[in-house]
Amino acid sequence: MTGEPGVHSAWVAAAGSAGSAGSATSLFPWWSFTKTVLAIAALRLVDQGRLDLDTPRPGRPYTLRQLLQHRAGVADYASLDSYREAVAANEAAWPRDRMLEETGGERLVFLPDTGWAYSNIGYMFIGDAIEQASRLPLAAALSELLFDPLSLPAVRLAALPGDFRGVHWPELRGYDPRWVYHGCLVGTAVDAARLLQSLFSERLLQPGTLNEMTKAHPLGGALPGRPWTSCGYGLGVMSGEVGEAGRAVGHSGSGPFSANAVYHFPDLASPVTVASFSRGSDEGPAEHKAVAIALDQAR
């Protein structure tokens, strides 16, 4: 699309004022911001007494907390050459059993709580836990727990070939979303910002649960080409410092042809939540744009 904005963004201030730059109505894949949404849904079930954070999952040596924080030791598929080659070739997604076989089954790469390793498979297991506790398919559970109460009817779980047909960038419309085994949400930038703002306005979780969610396991310092000066990971949220803007809590994500950054900036004089979506799989441009908008809104 010649001449279109490089990044499409939306923001919501603590007082409720909102704005956007680029397309406010286009649908974008939320990629790993979906993890934050899954975490909120699971923690709502914790608040309701239908899930427990610290009891080992049935038949497993790890807890929901450890899955949410990528400290369960569960393997991942994203670094597999065979996975990347199949996605690049636009092949149909592997069945779940084959994916688990390719990654070594359900073997652990370390004992729970003895390390940290990002795991999409771990979040697939969180989706399983949400379905079991809610007794609903994942899409219906997310609607009941989050999208209906927040009046976000346009947000949907892309689960079948063709479910990317309506997304903003034409290159993505033939992508098979089943390659994202924990599920990939599709929605507008406005919806993403509103959802995360609702979390930090304490509309979704009990204060103590939100506090647990945002406690970050430290992961290090600056990242090349990205705004982070320190990094950590909470329960389904990336959390760290982004220079002058202070803390940023939310999630970045990327997939073929696009990336996103959805963050709340609580340390600003006027806290704001920003969602930015960019062309290309580098998360840096979307993150830098989100930080720039947050600083601009705080002035």
pLDDT value of residue 1: 36
Low-confidence ranges of the chain (pLDDT < 50): 1-3
Whole-number CA gyration radius for the chain: 18
User: What phi, psi does 84 have (nearest 5°)?
Assistant: -60, -40
Closest Cα partner for 129 from 208, 69, 46? 46
Q: Where are the domains of the chain?
A: 7-298
Instruction: Label residues 106-130 b or e (16+ Cβ within 10 Å = b).
Output: eebeeebeeebeebbbbbbbbbebb
What is the Cα–Cα distance from 170 to 191, expressed in whole angstroms?
21
What is the Cα–Cα distance from 157 to 127, expressed in whole angstroms?
12
pLDDT value of residue 218: 97
CATH code of 7-298, in short, is 3.40.710.10
26 CB-contact burial (10 Å; exposed 0-12 / middle 13-18 / buried 19+): middle
| Secondary structure of the chain as H, E, C letters | CCCCCCEEEEEEECCCCEEEECCCCCEEECCCHHHHHHHHHHHHHHHCCCCCCCCECCCCCCEHHHHHCCCCCECCCCCCHHHHHHHHCCCCCCCHHHHHHHCCCCCECCCCCCCCCCCHHHHHHHHHHHHHHHCCCHHHHHHHHHHCCCCCCCCEEECCCCCCCCECCHHHCCCCHHHCCCCEEEECHHHHHHHHHHHHCCCCCCHHHHHHHHCCEEEEECCCCCCCCEEEECCCCEEEECHHHCEEEEEEEEECCEEEEEEEECCCCCCEEEEEEEECCCCHHHHHHHHHHHHHHHC
Region of residue 113 (left: phi > 0; alpha: psi -120 to 50; beta: else): left
Instruction: Assess contact for 114 and 72: CB atoms under 8 A.
Output: no
pLDDT value of residue 145: 98
Structure tokens at 154: 């346009």
Q: Quote the pTM value.
A: 0.97
Instruction: Label residues 56-93 b or e (16+ Cβ within 10 Å = b).
Output: ebeeeebbbbbbbbbbbbbbbbeeeeebeebbeeeeeb
What is the Cα–Cα distance from 41 to 54, expressed in whole angstroms?
16
Count CA within 13 A, CB hemisphere, residue 100. Answer: 13
95 CB-contact burial (10 Å; exposed 0-12 / middle 13-18 / buried 19+): exposed
